[in-house]
Amino acid sequence: MLIVEPAHPMDPAPRALLKQSHDLMQQLFMPEDNFFFGFDALCSPDVYFVTARDGAEMLATGALVQMEGYCEIKSMFTSAKARRRGAGAAILRALEDHARNLGFTRLRLETGAALESAIRLYERQGFTRCARFGDYTPNEVSVYMEKSI
């Protein structure tokens, strides 16, 4: 049974999954094009961090950061063996619900063009491509997306 719940990113299971995510991003993208949140940033009080698990098996992570006028999705990652099991979509729903409960009406995210399956997930969940936002530096690898909620 899939359980999505708030978690602490420094707990062993979420930390291990985040480490996998960071390692993958470092393999795929140059350092200047890597915008993943580090562990310290994920522990900030303005970050809402959740995980999806099936029993004790950690499947996915995601975070929501409150920005000026919108919330940004960060640290979305699903373990390779858990893909296509609905964990990513469940994380997105939980983050969207939290943003809505805070009174926000827009979600945004940045992802890499090489992450085609992630882009398809975001599109299935109602995200559309948009212009660069926030303090992201112009580059050739980022895809920016948003969703009204």
Long-range contacts of residues 16-25, Cβ cutoff 8 Å, at least 24 apart: 16/58, 17/51, 17/58, 17/60, 17/61, 17/77, 17/79, 18/42, 18/61, 18/75, 18/77, 20/77, 20/79, 21/61, 21/75, 21/77, 24/77, 25/112
Residue pair 103/116 in contact (Cβ under 8 Å)? The answer is no
Predicted confidence (pLDDT) at residue 29 exceeds the cutoff of 60: no
Per-residue pLDDT of 47-93, as tens digits, reads: 999 999 999 899 999 999 999 999 999 988 888 887 888 999 999 99
Residue 109 phi/psi, 5-degree rounding, is -155, 160
